[in-house]
Each structure stands twice: as C-alpha cells, then as structure tokens.
Amino acid sequence: MSDEKIEATDSPTAASPAAPTLFRPELARSRGDTVAGRAAGLSSGRSGQATMRDVALAAGASLKTVSRVVNMEPGVRPEMQQRVEEAIVALGFRRNVVAHSLRTGHRIGSIGLIVADLMNPFYSSVAKAVETVAARHNAVIIIGSSGENAARERELVMNLLHRPVDGLIVVPAGSDHRYMEPERRRGAQVVFLDRGGGNIEADAVVLDNFGGAKEAVEHLILRGHKRVGFIGDSTTVQTAVERLEGYKAALAEADIPYDPELVRLGSPAVDMAETAAGKLLALDDRATAIFAANNRQCVGVLRAIRASQRLTALVGFDDFELADLLPIPVSVIAYDPAELGRSSAELLFARMGGDTRPPQRIVIPTRLIQRGSGEMMAQVP
C-alpha cells in the first residue's frame, strides 16, 4: 500500500475508472446508507490492510480528498473531513509510515509507549532509550501509564491505535491481549516490553527474571541464610511470578523447604513493601535475609530493616540511584534498562518497515553486583 499523496481530483469526470464515485447525500438517506455501513461491507469482502481507495469508497469521497485528510492538508469541508475520519476509524486504515519516511525524509508520525508506573525511574530509562531510537526515525513518542490496571491498559491501547499512532510498545498490565488481534490484522504493530503478552503470539523484549532471582537467592544461601524472605508484586504481574519461581528454584536446589510465611506478595509501592518486610522481620523465626523483587520494593525493605535495627542481608532486583552510597551499599541484580527500550524500539521500527519474521522473544541478561548488603553472613544463634 502506498501512502503518498494521491493527486486525484474532486471531479468525478476526471477520476480514473477505478476511482470511487462522489457521495450523494439524498441517495444515502433514501438507502439508509452510512459510513459505518459502507465500511462494514468493505471489511467483510477484504483480507489484509485497508487502502486509501477503501476509505474513499466508505466515505463517498474522492482519493484527493482522502489524501488531504490523511496528510492533514487544508481545503476539505468540515462535514466531508468528518466522514473521511469516520471511515478511517471504521476500516482501521493506517499509513505505511516507514515507507513514507524513506521516500520523503519527513517525520513519519508517532509511536505509543505504555508503561506501568511513570514514577518508577526504571521506566524513565526505558522511555529515554525508546525516544532516542524514535528520533533517528524522525518520530516522536506518546507515553501513557496503566498503573498496573488491565482495564486502563486496554483503554490506552485502543485510544492510541485509533489516534492513530504508527506502532505501540506496551508493558502489559493484563494477562489476556487477544483484544489487540483485530487491530494487528489491520496492520498495527505491537511489541511487548518487560513482560510477554498473554494469549497472543507477538514480539517481546524481556529480562531473565527467573535466572536473576535464582542467582540472588543462591547468593544469600551461600552466606548461610536459610530463612530468606521474598517481597514481590501481585501474581497477576508476570515478572513477579517469574522471579518468585527463581526464588523457589534456588531454595529447592539447596534442599531448603519453601515456607509461604516468608513470601509477601502484592506490595508494588514503597510503603506496602516496608509494611510487608516489617512483618517478616517480626516473625518469631524471622527472615535473616530478604530478596526484594524490584527497586521500589527494595527501598521499602531498606526502611523496614532500619526501623527494626536488626542486621538483615538484602539483595534487590533492579539497581537504583544511590544504592552504592548507602551506609551498607545494596547488592542488586542489575541489567541495562536502556537496552530493553532500545531493543524493543528497534524491533518495532523493523516491523513497521516490513520485517515479517515470526514473533521474536529477546531476553536481556542480568548480573549480580556485590556491594555489601548481600554479603552479610547469617548470624549463628
């Protein structure tokens, strides 16, 4: 499909034989004809992505008029612009923006980035990397936050695709993404970041969550800790589940029984993690070490340890600012968040440019940084 400005005339006599006829309101009213009705008829008889010609037929407009609306040029009557825009939405029409950019060298538009929490520095690093790649392609990014709410995620996805953006990078909050399939069949490109999509075959750029968590807990066990606590997110969050599985695997390999009392889930915020960690430290047979499953939870655990005034080993998943400058520097499972953003953006632009490989799953490796808090030996009773 070409997205070049189509130089067709508004006159029906000057149009090519294949061009649509002009919309006649009096005939439409007599037939009960609507833009949505025409679009539905065209969609039912078409496989693949909608074209400008489809939009023109659905709107009862000339190709020139559709081209003006798509390219945001003046000279279209408001009522006709509304009909064309309705047809674009109904048909799911979207320009081949990468091809257009290669031909013209002009801005190709925008891509959407949906993250879980704009307050988390992790997502700031991701967004900066995505923006850098987008800038190389003369594109801008539109960012939204789902707040780990599946309904909000779906609302953002649909709003952005109907804006339309030219592609999406999504940190999924929900576990079922089949709702995206109709838009993908119409040509929308989607890459999942940090977590894979649910019930959908799609590209994903993720961390080695299982391996990183397992390495962290093994490290604590080697220091003599048998009561290792886990502070994590809800089991609806895929990364939390994978990190919990890594925690369990490390315990199993060391023949340490899994104790649900040492596992506290559903603590996404700092204050919630602090409360959860405080309970672990107040147990009669308390945790002597804690694995915090993300950076915000690690901050909460640090506050709980300070309040308890009890020596407690700690390893956190995700590095964070000033972690190396604390009185006891924090040992972490680290990785490059910018690489997550960079890889997902490069993959998205490749898809927008015509890459038809099967869905890709790119795994970003993690590494343990030993700074002190994770190297504290278990105290002999």
Whether 201 and 342 share a structural domain: yes
Residue 44 confidence (pLDDT): 54
Tens of pLDDT, residue by residue over 59-111, are 999 999 988 888 778 889 999 988 888 888 888 787 655 555 545 554 458 99
Give average pLDDT by consecutive 10-residue segment, the chain, 381 residues.
38 37 41 62 61 89 88 85 87 64 58 94 95 93 95 94 88 95 90 97 98 98 98 93 98 98 95 98 97 97 97 97 95 97 98 95 98 93 61
pTM across the whole model = 0.72
Whether 59 and 136 share a structural domain: no
Whether 229 and 325 share a structural domain: yes
Domain assignment present for residue 147? The answer is yes
CATH number assigned to the domain comprising residue 58: 1.10.260.40
Q: Which residues of 106-136 are buried (b: 16+ CB within 10 A; e: fewer)?
A: eebbbbbbbbbbeebebbebbbebbbebbee
Whether 315 and 294 share a structural domain: yes
Structural domains counted in the chain? 3
Domain assignment present for residue 13? The answer is no
Give the bridge partners for 203, in sequence order: 191
Residue 20 confidence (pLDDT): 36
Q: At what angle do helices 97-104 and 337-352 cross, to 10 degrees?
A: 80
| CA-to-CA separations, 331 to 24, 224, 299, 327, in angstroms, rounded | 71, 16, 12, 12
Domain residue limits at 234:
209-335+367-375
Contact 334/311 with Cβ under 8 angstroms? no
Residue 162 confidence (pLDDT): 81
Whether 240 and 359 share a structural domain: no
